[in-house]
Chains A and B, each alone.
Chain A
Amino acid sequence: MISKIVDSVAAALAGVDDGATVMIGGFGGAGMPTELVEGLIAQGAKGLTIVSNNAGNAEFGLAALLKAGRVRKVICSFPRQADSYVFDALYREGKIELELVPQGNLAERIRAAGAGIGGFFTKVGFGTELAKGKETREINGEMYVFESPIYADFALIKAEQGDRWGNLVYRKAARNFGPVMAMAAKTTVASVHELRELGAIDPEHVITPGIFVQRLVKIPRAATIAAGFKA
């Protein structure tokens, strides 16, 4: 019987090597697989490249991993937030590398990796500092910039429900980068709050088909933490 369900965060994170590229889902706190990311601290991998929309909030999840000194480079769209002080300090001290990517380019570069696309031309960023040195092309009278796929060794994502084949359903706007990251990584680990029997998730409602998910681990439900803004 096939089961992608593992019984601990430690088992879910087996094989994350030093120097790995790890995608982490979430937009601020929504969709951040906090328990998996914090599990990486105990797992011990270092010199990581992290691909995520933000660069951590307060001192939980990604910020905790940064604080533990495990991250060499962050590829993200929006590092600077009201509560990103862990990243801010590392960046100012020159202890972390930043590749800043417009958010839609980030999502599409991840999607391209997951879809077997070798890159794409986009209008976004043309003529700006973030497109410096990149190939450009005129298409239908407008200027486009070439963007490359972003691949990863692991994706750590958070979903609401899953089954032993790896089918996933998300919750509200916590979906964000989860579906595209699941496609782009060699190994995708999803935390879920509910494990369902096969067939209990309506096939019409599956958002991420199980082919994109290699491991699931159940994490008890906790309210998502407010993050990323000044109340």
Chain B
Amino acid sequence: MSYTKLNREQLAARVARDIHEGMYVNLGIGLPTLVANHFPANVEVFLQSENGLLGMGAAPAKGNEDFDLVNAGKQPVTLLAGGSFFHSADSFAMMRAGHLDVAVLGAFQVAANGDLANWHTGNPADIPAVGGAMDLAVGAKQTWVMMEHFTKDGVSKLVERCSYPITGVRCVKRIYTDLAVIDIVSDQFVLRETVAGLSAAQLSELSGVSFF
């Protein structure tokens, strides 16, 4: 049987479906940022940004950018009515102490035991940068990963053990990819959904990991 990968917006819409009214959520830079475009208009979700915003809104109209009001990727954003500003130590207290319901992060690799690698390739020629990745990985009530299932070279990002330097130990609870939704339960990948036309056996073979 043939199958079609979700595109980036479809994947974002799939993640958004599991985020409900009233949740406090941090969307990591890159792919997870797209999730914000897919909440229904009548649903109120509190978006937190590591640089000190709660109640973050959409990008401003062209010409209305204010570069004192940016997101974690330093792109201009807006603040919703009811939003607030706070300093960096308070912002990370929110993350670290489980005040956020969900953090959605990108990843280079996720291991079956929930280890996450998303901050550094380990290549000495690459300049390392960690930002808030390690704080977000371990702090939220749930850490979700949103990523393409394979690298550009076709290598599975689901692995038995991370070969890249890790960001957090056993921190990932759920993974959304362009092919599947996978939970991590008791150090194992548990397959919850696949795209139409893709069987569990096929996905397991393509990914080189076992699903339970």
Contacts and interface: CB of A to CB of B under 8 A. Distances in A.
Interface of A: 27-31, 53, 77-81, 87-88, 91-92, 98, 100-108, 110-111, 122-130, 143, 170-180, 207, 223-229
B129 A100 contact: yes
B51 interface: yes
Contacts of B73: 228-229
B130 A175 contact: no
Interface of B: 49-53, 65-70, 73-76, 79, 85-89, 91-93, 95-96, 120, 125-135, 138-139, 165-169
Nearest 5 CB-CB pairings of A with B: A104-B92, A228-B74, A104-B135, A107-B88, A127-B169
A127 B166 contact: yes
Nearest to B87: A179
Contacts of B85: 170, 172-173, 175
A129 B165 contact: yes
Contact of B49 (A78, A101, A143, A173): A173
A128 B138 CA distance: 12
A104 B53 contact: no
Contacts of A178: 87
Contact of A173 (B53, B95, B126): B53
Contacts of A87: 127
A180 to B, nearest CB: 5
Contacts of B65: 226
Contacts of A92: 125, 127
A101 B134 CA distance: 10
B139 A124 contact: yes
Nearest to B75: A229
Counting chain A CB atoms within 10 Å of each CB, the highest count among B53, B129, B134 belongs to B134
Contacts of A28: 70, 74
Given A173-B52, A177-B88, A178-B87, A224 B132 contact: no
5 contacts: A30-B51, A79-B129, A87-B127, A173-B53, A176-B88
B128 A103 contact: no
B3 to A, nearest CB: 33
B66 to A, nearest CB: 7
A102 B52 CA distance: 16
